[in-house]
Amino acid sequence: MDLRQNLEAVKQKIKNACEGAKREPSEVTLIAVSKTKPAEMIEEFYALGVRDFGENKVQELVDKYERLPKDIRWHLIGHLQTNKVKYVVDKAYMIHSVDSLRLAREISKEAVKKGVCVKILIEVNVAGEESKFGVKPSETEKLIRQIAALPGISICGLMTVAPYVADGEENSTIFCSLRELSIDINAKNIDNVSMGILSMGMSGDYETAIRWGAVYVRVGTALFGERDYGI
Ligand X SMILES: *Cc1c(COP(=O)(O)O)cnc(C)c1O
Pick from 78, 134, 168, 213 the residue near ligand X by CB under 6 A: 78
Least distance (Å) between residue 37 CB and ligand X: 10
Nearer to ligand X, 56 or 182 (CB): 56
Considering only residues 121 to 180 of the shown chain, the ones binding ligand X according to CB under 6 A are: 161
Q: Which segment (6-14, 129-137, 166-174, 196-204) binds ligand X by CB under 6 A?
A: 196-204
Nearer to ligand X, 155 or 222 (CB): 222
Q: Which segment (100-108, 166-174, 188-196, 199-207) binds ligand X by CB under 6 A?
A: 199-207
Rg of the chain taking only CA atoms, in angstroms: 17
d(CA 216, CA 118): 17
- CA dihedral of residues 116, 79, 203, 193 (deg, nearest 10): -40
Question: Residue 43: how many CA atoms within 13 Å on its side-chain side?
Answer: 7
Q: 58 to each of 2, 84, 141, how far by Cα in Å?
A: 28, 7, 27
- CA dihedral of residues 53, 57, 61, 62 (deg, nearest 10): 170
Q: Which segment (132-140, 167-175, 179-187, 220-228) binds ligand X by CB under 6 A?
A: 220-228
- HEC letters along 59-87: HHHHHHHHHCCCCCEEEECCCCCHHHHHH
Pick from 12, 16, 192, 221 the residue near ligand X by CB under 6 A: 221
Pick from 72, 202, 209, 215 the residue near ligand X by CB under 6 A: 202
Under rule CB under 6 A, residue 219 binds ligand X: yes
How far from the centroid of its chain's Cα atoms is residue 20's Cα?
Answer: 23
Pick from 7, 50, 76, 77 the residue near ligand X by CB under 6 A: 77
Least distance (Å) between residue 147 CB and ligand X: 20
Is residue 171 within 8 Å of 136, Cβ to Cβ? no
- Residues near ligand X, by CB under 6 A: 33, 35, 56, 77-78, 161, 202-204, 218-222
